[in-house]
Amino acid sequence: MPDQISALEITLLAAGVTFSHLFLFIMGRKVNTLYILLSVILVLAAFSGASGFALGTLAKLVRGYALLLLIGLAFFRYRTTNFSTASLAWLFFLTIFTLSAFWSDWPPSVLFHKAQAILVALAGIIAAYSVSGEKQLMQGLRTLLVGGVALGIGVLLLAIFESGGAFLYGRINLGGVVATRLASNVAPLLLVCTYLAIYDRSKAWKPVEYATVGLLASILLLTGARGPAAAAVLGFLIQLLPRGGRRLRVLALPVLIACSGLIVLGALREEVKVERLLSTANTRAAIWRTSMEEIVTSPMIGHGGLLVGPPGALTRFNTHNAWLQIVIEQGLLGLALFGVCALVVCGCGVQMYRLVSRHPPMVHLAIFPVSIIMAALFHGTIEISLIAPSSFALLVGLSIGLIDHLPRMALRSQGVLMQYAVWGNVRRQFPPNLPGRLRPGNP
């Protein structure tokens, strides 16, 4: 890479910054700006830091700026600060998890890595609180759907123009983007799209939703990543379960996913090794054994955080298991704290479903956060995405925020319907052609 940036690159960068802010300002009048930024973050997460991209570092910086801009807009424009029990419990755990960096051997570096996770979770939570009703929430999820379209098209274009071949060892390989990382970012967006394809009542969006599901499912299959694929299947089954015996046409979605996979595999059968998805070889058993050896040396409070690598290029030690990562950094006390917070979130989820179920038009909204959280918990068995600045962590924050906020939305919607019902009774009892002195409220 050149040591100096040319004037043309500076001009293009300034033009891009100006255009993007102008776009946010214009679209913010029709769409929730926070969900536009969420979509940008989710798309860039798949490509930021890619070794083969000249703009990989720039993508990471733009993603970080979008995250900070989202949090700033939430507090100063949407004023989303009144958090409830589940959100506070999750933020409390992540705060303690972050502060544990102070008893590590490298406090500043470990603190920098951990602080990103709490910012990502906070961004998801405040995005959930920024909507006031079902219509706004569905509109926000459709904005994430557009992000899924952009991610799918971006991957296809990179695969087409990849000079060294789009596949390596039977898995998709795009300019240094790790296949597992790509899958970990595709899977949560795929769950957003499947939820919309099942429950969105807008006929105009249905073709886009179904096409995006097929596109992202095909990309997930080509990555050969078993963990993200299994997590996506689990979340999809949870979403599908409430409608399983009510509408046969909902079976068209899994049929579409299966057909898309068969078509892709048929076209690329000599380059893709699909048997890897069912294989038990090359697992993370060796990494987990090493993690257990580190845990034994400090089982109660953990190490605060471990960094590995040569001097000047230290990276966070990744156990590829969220539970082992918690124990190795916070000890058994940290794992117990996580369990307590998980029970609090679970209790709030049960209470949320009971309240939302009294308002039938919004019951389907309760399925979305449950499917995301369960998929993320499963994905935590093979990655630390739950406690890292990942796409799963972002959507888990959104889901936990919805667990707190959906009852408010249901009560607000029920109150509006009651007002309309009362006003309808008044209009029937007092027709508009009555003299003004006979109308209610006049002496």
Band (252; pLDDT cuts 50, 70, 90): low
The DSSP symbol for 86 reads: H
Mean pLDDT of 97-126: 87
pLDDT digits (tens, 9 = 90+) for 407-428: 888 887 765 444 444 444 444 5
Q: Would the pLDDT of 357 be above 90?
A: no
Res 81 pLDDT > 90:
no
What was the pLDDT predicted at 437? 44
Distance from C-alpha of 28 to C-alpha of 34, rounded to nearest angstrom: 9
The total number of structural domains in the chain stands at: 1
Banded model confidence at residue 220, pLDDT cuts 50, 70, 90: confident
Q: What pLDDT shows up at residue 317? A: 78
Whose structure tokens read 């996913």?
257
Q: What is the pLDDT of residue 415?
A: 55
pTM of the model: 0.83
- Cβ contact 223:171 at 8 Å: yes
Q: Does the pLDDT of residue 273 top 70, yes or no?
A: no
Stretch 333-354: mean pLDDT: 92
Q: How far is CA 368 from CA 84, 187, 220, 363, 398, in A?
A: 19, 14, 20, 10, 10
Contact 37, 70 (CB under 8 A): yes
pLDDT band at 434 (very low <50, low <70, confident <90, very high): very low
Q: Are 128 and 408 in contact (CB under 8 A)?
A: no
Rg (CA), the chain: 24
- The mean pLDDT of 355-380, rounded to a whole number, is 88
Average pLDDT value for residue range 309-320: 70
For residue 166, what pLDDT is reported? Answer: 54
Highest average pLDDT, of 7-11, 69-73, 100-104, 144-148, comes from 144-148
∠ at Cα 365 (361, 368), nearest 5°? Answer: 155
For residue 262, being part of any structural domain is answered with yes
Reported as a pLDDT band with limits 50, 70 and 90, residue 336 is very high
Q: How high is the pLDDT of residue 375?
A: 94
- Kindly state the average pLDDT of the residues 98-109: 83
Do 147 and 189 meet the contact criterion of CB atoms below 8 Å apart? yes
The residue ranking higher by pLDDT, 312 or 184, is 184
Q: Does some domain include residue 11?
A: no
Span of 71-80, 96-105, 225-234 with lowest mean pLDDT? 71-80
Residues 6+ apart with CB under 8 A from 57: 48, 49
Domain that includes residue 294, residue range: 31-438
- Torsion angles phi and psi, residue 107, rounded to 5: -55, -50
d(CA 35, CA 127): 7
Q: Compute the C-alpha angle 420/421/423, nearest 5°.
A: 65
pLDDT confidence band for 261 (50 / 70 / 90): low
The answer as to whether 20 is a domain residue is: no
198 falls in which pLDDT band (50, 70, 90)?
Answer: confident
Give residue 2's pLDDT: 43
Phi, psi of 213 (to 5 degrees): -60, -45
Q: Is position 216 within any domain? A: yes
pLDDT band at 247 (very low <50, low <70, confident <90, very high): low
pLDDT-derived band at 276 (thresholds 50, 70, 90) equals low
Arithmetic mean of pLDDT over the chain: 78
Residue 53's pLDDT is 54
Report residue 32's pLDDT band, with 50, 70 and 90 as the boundaries.
Answer: confident
**What residues contact 319, with CB distance under 8 A and at least 6 apart?**
287, 288, 291, 325, 328, 384
> Residue 351: which H helix or E strand, with range?
helix 322-356
Task: Flag whether 193 is in a domain.
Answer: yes
At residue 194, the pLDDT reads 92
For residue 4, being part of any structural domain is answered with no
Residue 103, pLDDT above cutoff 70: yes
On whether residue 6 sits in a domain, the answer given is no
Q: What is the rounded distance in angstroms from the CA atom of residue 56 to the CA atom of residue 62?
A: 10
Q: Is residue 156 part of a domain?
A: yes
Calculate mean pLDDT across residues 69-92: 85
Tell me, what's the pLDDT at 249?
53
pLDDT at residue 242, as a whole number: 73
Convert the pLDDT of each residue in 398-409 to its tens digit.
999 999 999 888
